[in-house]
A and B are shown apart, each in its own frame.
Chain A
């Protein structure tokens, strides 16, 4: 099993993360990448250099010291974009392509569903809705949606 490597993380004036480690040297612009963004978001995060190589590995976020962890979390937050669908307000039609007015944890927006196959099941209750511009909307638990949303969504499932 791999374990958390020894490295220092900082942010430079260009807003990039800089990693320094004995093993891999200094890398500017490393990005944290979750290995299992849906199944286990806080376990297993790789730090990947600009040329795509893994230069650091974090077994568990909670094992990091506070500053490093904050840096990683900030960077993750600015890279991850999977708005969580909280409510379907309305849909333009039950046939696709269909424009949905939705409320998400990142504010209200609209999305265009190109086809029913762009709604994918994740696990038991979860759904992933892929909009026509490539944004993925997550529904964590279908059962948690309100009746109206569920009824609308049901027509596409």
Chain B
């Protein structure tokens, strides 16, 4: 025990418990554990648990699938190296002559391994120099490099990966949207109670009508008009009351449910807009549109019609049961006998139907997706004469839709008739039992008539209630798909403790950032500091990660590792909207919304005055061509609006960026898709824009970056060269080769020149 205590103190508390005892047996006295990394694969890439531990003296490892620990003493010349491919990382230990050891693991163990590599390097340095390892002044999160508080166990920036599935009681979650209307809902419910009770009066009155009027008449007594009038009048009154209350109830509840679904729709859309580009990248437009559009409508219909009917039915059932039992318990028992059977049947089919309807929804999304894919790309479709193929694709999606529907309908079509059959049999039971009871003089004919009148409704409702199963499942499926959006936490979440930047000077620091799309590493350990007001030109051939870098700086995506800092503050701790307000973005393909030119220019600042709009347009060299349009600044652009050329659109988007007067300006191939003449025009507009702002410009034509303070040459997600034009030209490196290639007007890889 004492031994364990002593050794324990050398193993950091965060070390995984499962390995603790195993490792203790291996450690020498007073051997300190510095870092560790778990593995989840063996060398044959089969799943299995392994561990690599760095102590002050050696690397200790127990590989997945091996029984024994191995140890590698630290010595000069050792080198650890990590790389990854297709979702699997490999860590290798080399000395000068050969590879000594290798470990494999999936990417979730990557950061730990990275941390171990860094500690390993420090440890070797200290071994070589004899100096102790310098203690870092601040602990840094191994994953994102954010500074950690001394006592913080987890990095506040990183601990937001949420893998909790939402609960399956999806429909009940709609309560969140119903809550604001609880007053109206209660009123509606009371009205419902009243109207339902009123409908139950008239079958009740058939009983005395039969026993006191009709039967005595048949036996020779005369009909007393006043009694008849009383009963019939009662029936009429009940009908009128039920009508009035029913109307009020339906109206109120329909209003409420419409509002609930409208709230649901807007909330979902608002949430959707907050989600990161990554989310939109993975979703298809048609699918999202159908979720927010038709599926919220389905929920509304469900609430206002089906759910309402269902509750009415349940109320009626309960009241009827009470009445029946109060009249004659035995007959009541016989009447209710088929009920459990039907309930069981409903339960049986429920599951199949639910999954079936969920499937139908998804297939429906597929059908709309085909449309949403094709219609925006119609130019390409026509240019390549692929109308037939697209039609076939649609037909295929429809066929799939049909198939799924057919399959479901098999179950569904059997379901309703079976319920009808059961209710018919139920009626038969009541008739038989009733006749038997009358024959034995226990019961009057009137009672039996009343029972039959009641259960006629009763079973009729059961049939329609069974339908609730399908609509409930349908709307539960719809609700689930909507909550799927609502539950999705943005990958660029708002900070929990937002930091406000009062004055932004525009310094951007990229601190050892890494980024991957899925398992594909696109930015690999990139560091750069951009001074306030500096203009940096990003160059490198297509696919080298320039746009990705810009996306990261704009926080359209969050870095996988490392950090981006604005004026020394991690951009993840700034409120997203506040941060973006400082950024003006001009893209290669400017997007104009449907609306007037003025509205498009003022998109980022809707309250801009006309003077401001015109000033921005002037500075963007857009003023004159706008004036040439028949409606000037009021011309409609965007979908079905006034057609504009690429250069004109681009200048409008430059004006848009100018108007918000951002501290940071990002130009991603802003002039690449226009001819040289227009480019000159745009270039002049840009020169206005760039003045005094931190600018990151990506350009394919290197000549457009002449006035950049520094040029950054990127290659495969890394920076290969940084410096001003002249210096880079003198160096005759990657930039020089790019430049030469363009001067010769051939587009070659920089590496090909080697």
A interface residues, Cβ below 8 angstroms from B: 13-15, 31, 51-53, 77-83, 92-99, 104, 106-109, 112, 115-118, 130, 132-136, 154-155, 157
B134 lies within 8 A of chain A by Cβ:
no
B518-A14 in contact (CB<8A): no
Does B165 lie within 8 Å of A97, measured CB to CB?
yes
Decide: A132 near B362, CB < 8 A? Known: A51-B751, A81-B88. Answer: no
Q: Is B92 an interface residue (CB 8 A)?
A: yes
B164 is contacted by which of A15, A78, A97, A108 (Cβ under 8 Å)? A97
The 8 Å CB contact of A93, one of B46, B47, B168, is B168
The 3 closest A-B pairs by CB, nearest first: A134-B519, A93-B165, A13-B98
Q: Are A53 and B751 in contact (CB under 8 A)?
A: yes
Minimum CB–CB distance for A96 against chain B, Å: 7
Whether A134 pairs with B107 at a CB distance below 8 angstroms is yes
A132 to B107, CA, bound (A): 10
- Nearest B-chain residue to A81, judged by Cβ: B88
| Nearest Cβ on chain B to A37's Cβ, whole angstroms | 9
| Bound Cα distance A53, B748 (Å) | 13
CB atoms of B102 and A13 under 8 A apart: no
Contact residue among B99, B167, B282 (Cβ-Cβ distance under 8 Å from A13)? B99
Q: Is B172 an interface residue (CB 8 A)?
A: no
B258 vs chain A, min Cβ distance (A): 27
Residues in chain A near residue B162, CB distance under 8 A:
97
Q: Which of A13, A98, A135 contacts B519 (CB 8 A)?
A: A135
Pick the residue among B166, B284, B358, B516 that contacts A134 (CB under 8 A): B516
Nearest-neighbor residue (CB-CB) of A117 within chain B: B282
Chain A: CB-nearest residue to B487: A95
Among candidates A92, A98, A104, A133, residue contacting B107 with C-beta atoms closer than 8 Å: A133
- Bound together, the chains give a CA A101 to CA B636 distance in angstroms of 55
Contact A136 B106 (CB under 8 A): no
Name B86's contact: one of A13, A77, A81, A116 (CB within 8 Å): A81
Specify the chain A residue showing the minimal Cβ separation from B97.
A13
Contact in complex: A96, B484 (CB < 8 Å): yes
CB of A15 within 8 A of CB of B282, answer no
Complex contact A15–B92 (CB within 8 A): yes
Is the C-beta of B45 less than 8 angstroms from some C-beta in chain A?
A: yes
Cβ distance B473 to chain A, nearest Cβ, rounded Å? 13
- The A-contacting residues of B in range 40-78, CB under 8 angstroms, are 40-41, 43-48
Residues of B within 8 A of A53 (CB): 749, 751
Nearest Cβ in chain A — how far from B639, in angstroms? 27
* Residue on B nearest A94 in the bound complex, by CB: B168
Q: Answer yes or no: B716 CB below 8 A from chain A CBs.
A: yes
> A108 — which chain B residues lie within 8 A by C-beta?
47
Residues of B within 8 A of A118 (CB): 282
Q: How far is the CA of A116 from the CA of B279 in the complex (A)?
A: 12
Residues of B near A96 (CB, < 8 A) are 165, 484
In angstroms, Cα B48 to Cα A39, docked, is: 29
Smallest CB separation, B576 vs chain A (Å): 21
* Contact A15–B102 (Cβ < 8 Å): yes
- How far is it, in angstroms, between the C-alpha of A97 and the C-alpha of B99 when the chains are bound? 40
Cβ of B284: which chain A residues have Cβ within 8 Å of it?
A: 117
In the bound complex, residues from chain B placing their C-beta under 8 Å from that of A115 are 282, 484, 488
Cβ–Cβ contact B87 & A136, under 8 A: yes
Contact status B163-A14, CB under 8 Å = no
Q: Closest chain A residue to B170 by CB distance? A: A95
User: CA separation between A19 and B751, bound complex, in Å?
Assistant: 19
Contact B45 A78 (CB under 8 A): yes
Given contacts A135-B87, A155-B355, A157-B359, contact A107 B48 (CB under 8 A): yes
Provide the bound-state CA to CA distance between A80 and B46, in Å.
11
Complex contact B88–A107 (CB within 8 A): no
Q: Which residues of A contact B163 (CB under 8 A)?
A: 97, 99, 112, 132
> Which residues from chain B contact A135 at a C-beta distance below 8 Å?
87-88, 106-107, 519
Interchain CA distance A83-B164 in the complex, whole Å:
24
- Smallest distance from the beta carbon of B91 to chain A beta carbons, Å? 12
Does A133 contact B108, Cβ atoms closer than 8 Å? yes
Q: A50 vs B463: C-alpha distance in the bound complex, in angstroms?
A: 70
Residues of B within 8 A of A112 (CB): 163
Among A93, A108, A133, the one with the most B-chain Cβ atoms within 10 Å of its Cβ is A133
A98-B165, A107-B46 known; A133+B106 contact, CB < 8 A: yes
Q: Note all chain B residues with C-beta closer than 8 A to A107.
A: 46-48
A-B residue pairs in contact (CB < 8 Å), sample of 9: A51-B751, A52-B716, A78-B43, A80-B86, A81-B87, A106-B47, A115-B484, A132-B163, A133-B106
B731 proximal to A (CB < 8 A): no
Select from chain A the residue with minimum beta-carbon distance to B86.
A81
Q: Which of B161, B162, B516 has the most CB of A within 10 A?
A: B161
A13-B99, A14-B99, A15-B102 as given contacts; A154 in contact with B355, CB under 8 Å: yes
B161's nearest neighbour on chain A, judged by CB, is A132
- The reply to whether the CB of B364 lies closer than 8 angstroms to some CB of chain A is no
Task: Assess whether B98 is in contact with A14, with CB atoms less than 8 Å apart.
Answer: yes
Most A CB atoms within 10 A — which of B47, B85, B168, B480?
B47
Residue from the list A15, A31, A95 in contact with B168, Cβ < 8 A: A95
0/1 string, B474-502, CB within 8 A of A gives 1:
00000010011001100000000000000
Does B283 touch A at the CB level, under 8 Å?
Answer: yes
Tell me if B94 is interfacial: C-beta within 8 Å of chain A. yes
- Residues on A with C-beta less than 8 A from B487 are 95
Tell me which of A130, A136, A157 contacts B362 (CB under 8 A). A157
**Complex Cα–Cα for A117 and B278 (A):** 12
Q: Are B359 and A134 in contact (CB under 8 A)?
A: no
B 301-314 binary contact with A (CB < 8 Å = 1; else 0): 00000000000000
CB distance from B705 to the nearest CB of A (A): 24
CB distance from B16 to the nearest CB of A (A): 16
Best-buried of B88, B284, B516 by chain A (most CB within 10 Å): B88
Task: For the complex formed, measure the closest distance between the CB of A146 and the CB atoms of chain B, giving whole angstroms.
Answer: 18
Whole-angstrom distance between the Cβ of A2 and the nearest chain B Cβ: 19
Taking the closest CB of chain A, its distance from the CB of B240, in whole angstroms, is 48
Closest Cβ–Cβ distance, residue A137 to chain B (whole Å): 10
The minimal Cβ–Cβ distance linking B412 to chain A, given in whole angstroms, is 17
Docked CA distance A99–B165 (Å) = 8
User: Which residues on the B side are within 8 Å of A133 (C-beta)?
Assistant: 87, 106-108, 519
Q: B354-369 toward A: CB 8 Å interface, digit per residue (1/0)?
A: 0100110010000000
* Contact, CB under 8 Å: A136 / B86: yes
Decide if B166 touches A106 in the complex (CB within 8 Å): no
Note all chain A residues with C-beta closer than 8 A to B106.
133-135
Given contacts A78-B43, A133-B519, 17 further A-B contacts (CB under 8 A): A13-B97, A31-B85, A77-B45, A79-B85, A80-B45, A81-B45, A81-B87, A95-B166, A96-B165, A108-B47, A132-B163, A133-B106, A134-B107, A135-B88, A136-B87, A157-B359, A157-B362
How close is B720's CB to chain A, nearest CB, in angstroms? 11
Within the complex, what minimum Cβ distance (angstroms) separates B374 from chain A?
Answer: 18
- Among A95, A132, A136, point to the contact of B480 (Cβ < 8 A): A95
Task: Specify which chain B residues have a CB less than 8 angstroms from the CB of A81 in the assembled complex.
Answer: 41, 45, 86-88
Residues of chain B lying within 8 A (CB to CB) of residue A93 = 165-166, 168
Q: Using Cβ atoms and an 8 Å threshold, which residues of chain A touch B518? A: 130, 134
Determine whether the beta carbon of A92 is less than 8 Å from that of B165: yes
Residues of B with C-beta under 8 A to A94: 168
Contact partners of A98 in chain B: CB under 8 A = 165
Q: What chain A residues lie within 8 Å of B483 (beta carbons)?
A: 95
Q: What is the distance, in angstroms, from A114's C-beta to the closest C-beta of chain B?
A: 8
Q: Which of A82, A97, A117 has the most B CB atoms < 10 Å from its CB? A: A97
Residues of A close to B85: CB separation below 8 A: 31, 79
Bound CA–CA A134/B85 (angstroms): 10
CB distance B355 to A117 under 8 Å? no
Complex formed: what's the CA distance from A89 to B167 in Å? 20
A130 nearest in chain B by CB position: B518
